[in-house]
Structure 1
Amino acid sequence: MSDHKAILEEEFEVLESIFPDELEKLSDNSVQIRIEPEEQSFTYPITLNLIIDYPETYPDVIPNLSIEEIEDEGELRDGEEETILENLNIIAEESIGMAMTFTIASAAKEALAVLIVERIRKEREEDDRRTREYEEAEAARTRGTPLTIDAFNTWRKSFTAELRVKREKEEEDRIKALPPKEREDWKKRKERPTGRQLFESSTALATSDEGLYEDGVEEVDMRKYTREEREAERRKEEEEEERRRQGLVRGDGDSDNE
């Protein structure tokens, strides 16, 4: 029996006592060990098969290591398999010259525990990132757009246009609901020019109310008089009225005396 086979048989006996349920001998030069972390995670459960192929020069060289997923026992994410195998190969390099399978299997369990911790860390970082984005979006939404004169004028113009359209629509609906006679009266009133339109369309109306009187009636333009002249004119009219009244009274007295 070669030294290589003797070393492997002796190591297999030890491994079978350590991993009675986890170890499976695939051939004279390879084994498979079921690996799971010391404390399994309910959120990220993971169990793998660690496959070890021993070269003829083992333990003077490291064995060939590979990982196999177990169905319904969790899946590896991108980059995780490479990370685990890289760490296991480093451990194996440090154990060259001695039996190293137990050391590699123990390191694989620790690697799965670290993997779970890393998954939890990344998940928390992602939750924190989403929380920050949500809070920033809410802050921006509640803060609103800074009010400026240009922004206000733009809003006011838009609001006024919308309000005008709304009122015209309401007026149109209201007119449609009127009885025919009332609708006809409304149209006549609508077509009648307003006082402002009359004022703006006629120079004569803009300076006097002459057009509102019958032809042949002369109107006194009081703007030709100053305030004092208008007051004197008013007193003169009152005096004349008083003299006419007194004349009527005296005339009645003379008739009685006769």
Structure 2
Amino acid sequence: MTDHGLEQEMEIEALQAILMDDIKEIDPSESGLKTTSRCFQITLSPQDDDLDAANSTPVQLALIFSHTEKYPDEPPLLNVKSLRGVKPGDIKILHENLAEEAAENIGMAMVYTLATSAKEWLHEKYGQNALDDAVDETAAAVDDVIVPHGEPVTVETFVTWRERFEAELALERAKLMPESALAAPKDKKLTGRLWFESGRASVKGSAVVDDESEEEEEIDFDDDFEDDEEDMLDHYLAQKSEKSLEG
């Protein structure tokens, strides 16, 4: 007749000798198990204790067990909980895996075997190699992202570009227009078109200074200023094209 109690005591002694500080007896009320029998908790982490602490993963779980009356001829009561960093979904998967393995080891002391399997699973899931793979995947995903280059277009940068463009265009137009077209009687106000063609237009200002009198002239913009600007641009581009052909 098998002495289940004796086998259980021998297993506890063996576990304490092997695991030392990583195994401790806990109160049944803290175990999460429906029992009043003795309960023990084994602390597991992905790395071995002799590894550099700086390289260790901040992940730990607790394998909690309690012997049933007929253990090892029946599975022990098992519970798994995260002490640090293990996802609830992973805890559930691990618990199911350990329950299946316990059923396969009926008739022999199995707690150390279950603890070893849990540690290996934890190492594969949360160990340094697993973390390195996750980092590599993240880096690869970042490499696949196309990052646009160049200065983004904003209202301010567009306005600045527009002002420079208009100023340069006005200078080019002034070079192309004959002097007679720019001459205007002193008693006659410049139209918007002639004012812009003269190259004396200020991008932001609404008045110009006459070189001779150094007095401000009042600008009379005509209603067709925008249409005239398009005509002038066409004229400028045509002149440019002719010069290119002649050259």
> Please, what TM-score do these two structures have when normalized by structure 2?
0.53
1:91 aligns to what SS in structure 2? helix
Indicate the structure (1 or 2) with the bigger Cα radius of gyration. 1
- After superposition, where does 1:116-127 map in structure 2 within 5 Å? 116=127, 117-127=129-139
Q: Distance in 1 between matches of 2:62 and 2:221?
A: 92
Q: What value does the CA root-mean-square deviation take over the aligned residues?
A: 4.0
> Unpaired segments of 5 or more residues in structure 2?
29-36, 151-161, 171-195, 223-247
Q: Distance in 2 between matches of 1:34 and 1:182?
A: 91
1:32 aligns to what SS in structure 2? strand
**C-alpha contact 1:175 1:183 (8 A) present in aligned 2:** no
Instruction: Check if 1:50 corresponds to 2:63.
Output: yes
Q: Which has the higher contact order (CA 8 A, sep 6+)?
A: 2
**C-alpha contact 1:29 1:55 (8 A) present in aligned 2:** no
Instruction: Check if 1:86 corresponds to 2:119.
Output: no
Q: Distance in 2 between matches of 1:17 and 1:172?
A: 88
**C-alpha contact 1:59 1:97 (8 A) present in aligned 2:** yes
Query: Following TM superposition, by how much is the alpha carbon of 1:99 offset from its aligned partner in structure 2, in angstroms?
Result: 0.7
2:55 aligns to what SS in structure 1? coil
Query: Following TM superposition, by how much is the alpha carbon of 1:43 offset from its aligned partner in structure 2, in angstroms?
Result: 5.9
Q: Which of 27, 32, 35 is the matching residue for 2:44?
A: 35
Structure ranking higher in helix proportion: 1
Q: Distance in 2 between matches of 1:18 and 1:190?
A: 97
1:170 aligns to what SS in structure 2? coil
> Please, what TM-score do these two structures have when normalized by structure 1?
0.51
What per-residue deviation string (whole Å, max 9, x for no partner) do you get for residues 109-165 of structure 1? 2112112233432232122112211xx334xx58xxxxxxxxxxxxxxxx79x738x
- After superposition, where does 1:194-209 map in structure 2 within 5 Å? none
Q: Distance in 2 between matches of 1:112 and 1:188?
A: 81
1:80 aligns to what SS in structure 2? helix
Q: Distance in 2 between matches of 1:7 and 1:187?
A: 110
